[in-house]
A and B are shown apart, each in its own frame.
Chain A
Amino acid sequence: DAMVIQNPRYQVTQFGKPVTLSCSQTLNHNVMYWYQQKSSQAPKLLFHYYDKDFNNEADTPDNFQSRRPNTSFCFLDIRSPGLGDAAMYLCATSSKARETQYFGPGTRLLVL
């Protein structure tokens, strides 16, 4: 089945130690999104790629970066994680503007 895959499902890192989360998709969708979801809150969009074009949300901290080396893969880099960055990180894809977003299972990040 076509799907959105996130690895790892759980990631533990140390305060200030860079960490990378990965997302891959077999849907061949143009758009890939990264969301941050803190406990008992709605997902918050960090940024998205439309093909190779990167689009940052205005309130996304500089500490968060992303890479999309090809259509299938997208990475979320957190350069210096703080305790406040502990959250579930969700990757999603869609085929074009206004189409449904399909979410991966998420990576839960713990910062010690």
Chain B
Amino acid sequence: GNSVTQMEGPVTLSEEAFLTINCTYTATGYPSLFWYVQYPGEGLQLLLKATKADDKGSNKGFEATYRKETTSFHLEKGSVQVSDSAVYFCALSPSFSGGYNKLIFGAGTRLAVHP
């Protein structure tokens, strides 16, 4: 079946540190991959996405590359800010969902950035 595994949090970093949040997936075919961010008390916001192998999604200094050979979509940022503190969800959309876009989420990784 389809599933997403994320590294457990919380991840605690100092401002300007390098961030990596690992995400691996299990899926048949060629799923689309997403990172969503959830700030405290808010809904989910799309951070970036990639729809095929070797695609790199990027937004607001965050990047993730769709690696089919390792079934991974790790999130990275070179220099985090306090305002990046949030919960980050990795998700996939199977290549065939029966006519709709079913998202399968990982458990989420909480990031806390300190000044």
Give A residues with C-beta under 8 Å from B: 4, 6, 31, 40-43, 45, 48, 50, 55, 90, 92, 94, 96-106, 108
Contacts and interface: CB of A to CB of B under 8 A. Distances in A.
Nearest to A91: B43
Contacts of A96: 101
A99 to B, nearest CB: 6
Q: Could you tell me the dominant secondary structure of chain B's interface residues?
A: loop
Contacts of A43: 44, 89, 103, 105
A40 B105 CA distance: 13
Contact of B97 (A40, A42, A97, A108): A97
A43 B99 CA distance: 20
Contacts of A45: 102-103
A63 B44 CA distance: 25
Contact of B34 (A31, A100, A106): A100
B107 A101 contact: no
A106 B103 contact: no
A101 B43 CA distance: 12
Contact of A105 (B42, B93, B101): B42
13 contacts: A4-B43, A31-B100, A31-B101, A42-B105, A42-B106, A43-B44, A50-B100, A92-B44, A97-B100, A98-B32, A99-B101, A103-B43, A106-B43
Interface string B38-65: 0001111110010000000000000000
Contact of B101 (A4, A6, A41, A101): A101
B58 to A, nearest CB: 15
A103 B45 contact: yes
Contact of A55 (B36, B100, B108): B100
A55 B89 CA distance: 24
Nearest to B6: A42
Interface string B5-48: 00000000000000000000000000010101000011111100
B101 A103 contact: no
A42 B100 contact: no
B43 A97 contact: no
